[in-house]
Amino acid sequence: NESSFYFFYSTLFAIITLRGAKKFKATTTPTKTITLPDVIGSTPLLYLPRLSAMFGIRVFGKAEYFNPGGSVKDRAALFMIQSAVRSGELKPGGLVVEGTGGNTGVALSMICASLGYKCYLTMPTNVSLEKQLTMKAFGATIELCDTKFGVSDAGHYTQRAKAVAKERGGVHTDQFYNLANSTSHSSQTAPELVSQLCSLNISDYIFATGAGTGGTISGVAKHLGHLSEKPPVVLVDFEGSGMKAYLKTGQFTKAPGNTEAEGVGISRLTRNFASGFKHIDGSVSVSDIEVAKMCRYLAEEEGVWVGPSASGNVVGAVKAGLREKQERGEGGEEVTVVTILCDSGASYLSKMYNKEWREGVGLGDAGTLGRGDLDLE
Ligand code: PMP
């Protein structure tokens, strides 16, 4: 009958309208929410008890792999994007372009996805597959560049990034040059570190870390340089890097070999490195075999699963600490060393944590680290 006909259709109309309204009603963001960029930083400072006991010094690592993108580069990427937004260069929905050994790419692609930017990344072909797939998962476009190109060749990944940014009207974040990179560490990583150590009543320590862009070491060194008593800052130099020679002689002389550790080891003074250079007091060398052994030790004995650069940083920090311990002699004050645990072992399942890969690069079954395994020069 007519009334049930009207009742049926008016109810149907009401349901459709209400469902539509529910679907398209704009959400109001509640106050005090946190979004992804807010959880970058404030990483824990881990004490490594077994390693400390083995060498008789106190060893701490700032666990940057707790960042949402899994590495220390989340900080630099966020600061570079924020600086491009502030300067007006990066507009809503704009394109971010970077040449990256991996972690900066992961960080940028994650932050771009979170903030609504597009992301194009150029990188050498030897970047781990895990990192490449992660960047793609965040929706970035990636371009692989042959490792045969020198840094000033048009085909080198850093030159490609410049060219792509120009062609497509994107913002080249330029992590080697852009000082927002080291500022993220002078204004964030280092103050966190100092206050974490302060809350443990530790003011006498050595800070040691490696360099890729130099952003971390320079940024931390700049902050420490302003303290009334500056802790020594030591560069951890990986196989093949010319940085140690530069620190000593002012000339870049390539060291033998080429490290398998991704993201570290440079043979030129980048603008970021140069910005904190005067606060760097010395260097220690680490070899890939030491890196491989320490990776295994940290995972198996400390439950700390990190990538090769972090492992090398720990090797370097221990070496710097042992040198200081020897100088202080019997009965000297206890030595504390602090380093950066740059990223997680998860990115290297197909490389450092894969026996076939290790055998392919001559690291074989590296075994775990013992007391006598560090070459103390
Ligand atoms: N470790 C890894 C795995 C990295 O990707 C990087 C960045 N290139 C570093 C260490 C070095 O950091 P920075 O660029 O701040 O010198």
- If one residue of 283, 342, 352 were mutated to test the ligand 1 pocket, choosing by the most ligand atoms within 8 A of its CB, it would be 342
Mean pLDDT score, 41-51: 98
Identify the top-confidence range among 150-159, 259-268, 317-326: 317-326
Per residue in 62-105, pLDDT (tens digit) is 999 999 999 999 999 999 999 999 999 999 999 999 998 689 99
Residue nearest to atom 3 of ligand 1 (CA): 263
The whole-chain average pLDDT of the chain stands at: 93
User: What value of ipTM does the predicted structure carry?
Assistant: 0.99
Ligand 1 atom closest to 266 (CA) = 16
> Residues 285-331: pLDDT tens digits?
999 999 999 999 999 999 999 999 999 999 999 999 999 999 999 99
> What's 304-373 look like in SS3?
CCECHHHHHHHHHHHHHHHHHHHHHCCCCCCCEEEEEECEEHHHHCCCCCCHHHHHHCCCCCCCCCCHHH
- 342 Cα nearest atom in ligand 1: 1
CA of 128 to the centre of ligand 1 (A): 14
Q: What local confidence, expressed as pLDDT, does residue 237 receive?
A: 95
Mean pLDDT of 261-290: 92
Q: Does position 22 have pLDDT exceeding 60, yes or no?
A: no
Distance 237 CA to ligand 1 centre (A): 12
Share of the chain above pLDDT 70, in %: 95
pLDDT in tens, 105-138: 999 999 999 999 999 999 999 888 888 999 999 9
- Residue 28 confidence (pLDDT): 80
Q: According to the model, what pLDDT value does residue 233 have?
A: 98
Q: What is the residue with the minimal CA distance to atom 2 of ligand 1? A: 263
- The predicted pLDDT at position 272 comes to 96
Residue nearest to atom 7 of ligand 1 (CA): 263
The pLDDT score that the predictor gives to residue 336 is 98
pTM of the model: 0.91
**CB-defined site of ligand 1, < 6 Å:** 72-73, 101-103, 210-216, 262-264, 307, 309, 342-343
Ligand 1, atom 11: closest residue by C-alpha: 212
For ligand 1, the distance from its centroid to the CA atom of residue 113, given in whole angstroms, is: 22
Q: How far is the centre of ligand 1, averaged over its atoms, from the C-alpha of 73 (Å)? A: 7
Q: Measured in angstroms, how far is the CA atom of residue 211 from the centroid of ligand 1?
A: 6
**Ligand 1 closest atom vs CA 216:** 15
Distance 356 CA to ligand 1 centre (A): 25
Q: What is the pLDDT of residue 19?
A: 65
pLDDT attached to residue 2: 66
Kindly give the distance from the C-alpha atom of residue 139 to the centroid of ligand 1, in angstroms, as a whole number. 22
Mean pLDDT on 265-275: 88
